[in-house]
């Protein structure tokens, strides 16, 4: 009797120990659906969970938190991830190449170290009833998500949302982006994304590409650079923006007719407006005083004024395919407001060329676009712009 009890107790201890042991591993490699069970009853998983290609079901019934990473890669037979009680993942929550994953349910998840979700072509929505409010970096690429509902971060390092063909709304309460904000290539069949960031105050770098609208009413400071490329909005307003550390650029926004940044005073690097073929009138910068780099404008401008300019440390390039009276800009050169040696102001051009080589053409007047490659490549725009500023000084 006694021995039997001891034996049972030992057995019980052993299985608890084994279970705890599974929960406390530095790294748990999950190779099969059976392996998932080893973790399912842990309350907290102390280390990383790495899930292999053959797993088809991933349910962590009792787990409330993962202190390390959760990485699931190339599990092409996996349809659902179900983590009913998980409240935090302190490490990287990485999902890549999960071709039939259609359910990502983590209703209690509030805090994630970083999110990296790439190539999830069947994922159309997130089941998050609580919203994720903390994450250092977020990358969501190549999914079928229609919205980012369930993510509600205030401060984030990098926030990169690209190539999500069904994404129609990016509506977030973001306040500060301490590294880069990139919203690019989220479009399909003439439909693209509407970006609404009502509380965004500061960003280090930002690129908006292929958006149907961008609303950033509270943005007041860009530490480095901001660029708007190939968007389809007609109007863009930056009502609260006062300073940009490096460059600001609007390039190839084919429907843009109105830009305004009524209180923008300082741009540390290049101020560029290029190849926005419908933008005939530029008068939305009444307070712009200082440009630390070059002013670079190429397009179809009929009227353009930068009436408060006091100091341009780089050169000045203004080219338009329309008739244009250069008197205002020539005065700026004569008065040495423009300090760089390069000065161009030319109207009636066949091809209006910007300094980084990207050309702006209208109607039948076609440039060969040799400079465009620099703009199309990821991140190429900012580099090209920055190089243009240096070359131009």
Ligand X SMILES: *[C@@H]1O[C@H](CO)[C@@H](O)[C@H](O)[C@H]1NC(C)=O
* 240: contact with ligand X by CB under 6 A: yes
* 336: contact with ligand X by CB under 6 A: no
- Interface positions, 286-315, toward ligand X (CB under 6 A): 302-303
- Interface positions, 256-275, toward ligand X (CB under 6 A): 258, 260, 275
DSSP conformation letters of 51-93: E-TT--EEE-SS--EESS-EEEE--TT--EEE-TT--EEEEEE
Task: Determine contact, residues 290/270, Cβ cutoff 8 Å.
Answer: no
| Gap between the Cα atoms of 80 and 6, Å rounded | 42
- From 6-14, 94-102, 252-260, 305-313, give the range in contact with ligand X by CB under 6 A: 252-260
Q: How far is the CB of 169 from ligand X (least distance, A)?
A: 20
* 176: contact with ligand X by CB under 6 A: yes
Residue 128 has a CB neighbour count (10 Å cut-off) of 18
Q: Which is nearer to ligand X, 41 or 370 (CB)?
A: 370
In angstroms, what CA-CA distances link 272 with 20, 64, 129? 59, 50, 43
| Spacing of C-alpha 74 from chain mean position | 24
Cα torsion at 329, 332, 336, 340 (round to 10°)? Answer: -30
* C-alpha atoms less than 13 angstroms from C-alpha of 279 in its C-beta half-sphere: 29
Q: Which is nearer to ligand X, 53 or 325 (CB)?
A: 325
Q: With CB under 6 A as the rule, give the number of residues binding ligand X.
A: 43
* 134: contact with ligand X by CB under 6 A: no
Q: Which is nearer to ligand X, 316 or 324 (CB)?
A: 324
| Gap between the Cα atoms of 204 and 29, Å rounded | 37
Residue 62 has a CB neighbour count (10 Å cut-off) of 13
Q: Which is nearer to ligand X, 78 or 115 (CB)?
A: 115
Q: How far is the CB of 316 from ligand X (least distance, A)?
A: 20
* 241: contact with ligand X by CB under 6 A: no
Residue showing tokens 């842990």: 42
Q: Which is nearer to ligand X, 41 or 281 (CB)?
A: 281
Q: Which is nearer to ligand X, 301 or 343 (CB)?
A: 301
- From 67-75, 94-102, 143-151, 246-254, give the range in contact with ligand X by CB under 6 A: 246-254
* 27: contact with ligand X by CB under 6 A: no
Q: Which is nearer to ligand X, 9 or 376 (CB)?
A: 376
| Gap between the Cα atoms of 2 and 29, Å rounded | 39
Paired tokens of 194: 């509407």
The single residue among 222, 382, 384, 389 that binds ligand X, judged by CB under 6 A, is: 382
| Gap between the Cα atoms of 300 and 311, Å rounded | 25
DSSP state of 130: S
Degrees, nearest 5: CA angle 29-33-38: 60
Question: What is the chain's Cα-based Rg?
Answer: 27
Q: Which is nearer to ligand X, 75 or 195 (CB)?
A: 195
| Gap between the Cα atoms of 191 and 209, Å rounded | 13
- Interface positions, 154-173, toward ligand X (CB under 6 A): 154-155
* 246: contact with ligand X by CB under 6 A: yes
Q: Where are the alpha helices (DSSP H) in 147-291?
A: none
Q: Which is nearer to ligand X, 61 or 393 (CB)?
A: 393
The single residue among 144, 280, 290, 305 that binds ligand X, judged by CB under 6 A, is: 280
- From 54-62, 97-105, 339-347, 374-382, give the range in contact with ligand X by CB under 6 A: 374-382
* 152: contact with ligand X by CB under 6 A: no
| Gap between the Cα atoms of 119 and 125, Å rounded | 14
- Interface positions, 177-216, toward ligand X (CB under 6 A): 179-180, 201-202, 204-205
* 358: contact with ligand X by CB under 6 A: yes
The single residue among 97, 217, 286, 347 that binds ligand X, judged by CB under 6 A, is: 217
Paired tokens of 180: 């880069």
Task: Determine contact, residues 365/350, Cβ cutoff 8 Å.
Answer: yes
- Interface positions, 88-107, toward ligand X (CB under 6 A): none
Q: Which residues here bind ligand X, judged by CB under 6 A?
A: 154-155, 175-176, 179-180, 201-202, 204-205, 217-218, 220, 224-225, 229-230, 235, 237, 240, 246, 252, 254, 258, 260, 275, 277, 280-281, 302-303, 358-359, 367-372, 375-376, 382, 386
């Amino acid at each position: 009797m006694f021995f039997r009890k001891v034996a049972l107790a030992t057995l019980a201890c052993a299985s608890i120990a084994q279970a705890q042991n599974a929960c406390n591993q530095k790294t748990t490699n999950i190779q099969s659906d059976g392996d998932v069970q080893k973790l399912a009853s842990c309350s907290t998983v102390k280390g990383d969970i790495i899930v292999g290609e053959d797993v088809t079901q991933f349910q962590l019934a009792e787990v409330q938190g993962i202190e390390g990473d959760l990485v699931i890669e190339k599990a092409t037979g996996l349809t659902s991830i179900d983590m009913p009680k998980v409240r935090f993942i302190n490490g990287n929550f990485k999902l890549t190449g999960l071709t039939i994953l259609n359910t990502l349910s983590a209703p209690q998840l509030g805090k994630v170290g970083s999110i990296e979700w790439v190539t999830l072509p069947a994922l159309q929505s997130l089941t998050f009833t609580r919203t994720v409010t903390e994450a250092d970096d977020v990358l969501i690429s190549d999914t079928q998500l229609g919205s980012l509902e369930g993510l509600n971060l205030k401060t984030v390092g990098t926030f990169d949302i690209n190539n999500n063909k069904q994404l129609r709304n990016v509506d977030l309460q973001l306040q500060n982006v301490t590294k880069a904000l990139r919203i690019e290539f989220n479009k399909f069949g003439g439909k693209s994304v509407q970006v609404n960031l009502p509380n965004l105050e500061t960003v280090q770098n930002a690129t908006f590409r292929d958006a149907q609208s961008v609303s950033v009413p509270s943005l007041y400071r860009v530490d480095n650079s901001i660029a708007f490329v190939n968007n389809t909005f007609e109007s863009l307003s930056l009502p609260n923006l006062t300073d940009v550390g490096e460059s600001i650029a609007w390039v190839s926004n084919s429907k843009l007719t109105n830009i305004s940044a009524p209180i923008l005073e300082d741009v540390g690097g290049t101020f560029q407006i290029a190849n926005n073929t419908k933008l005939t009138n530029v008068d939305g910068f009444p307070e712009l005083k200082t440009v630390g780099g070059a002013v670079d404008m190429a397009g179809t401008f009929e009227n353009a004024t930068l009436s408060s300019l006091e100091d341009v440390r780089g050169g000045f390039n203004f080219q338009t395919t329309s008739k244009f009276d250069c008197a205002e800009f020539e005065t700026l050169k004569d008065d040495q407001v423009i300090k760089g040696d390069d000065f161009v102001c030319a109207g009636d051009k066949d091809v209006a060329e910007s300094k980084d080589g990207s050309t702006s053409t209208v109607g039948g007047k076609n440039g060969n676009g040799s400079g465009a490659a620099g703009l199309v490549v990821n991140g190429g725009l900012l580099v090209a712009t920055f190089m243009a500023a240096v070359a131009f000084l």
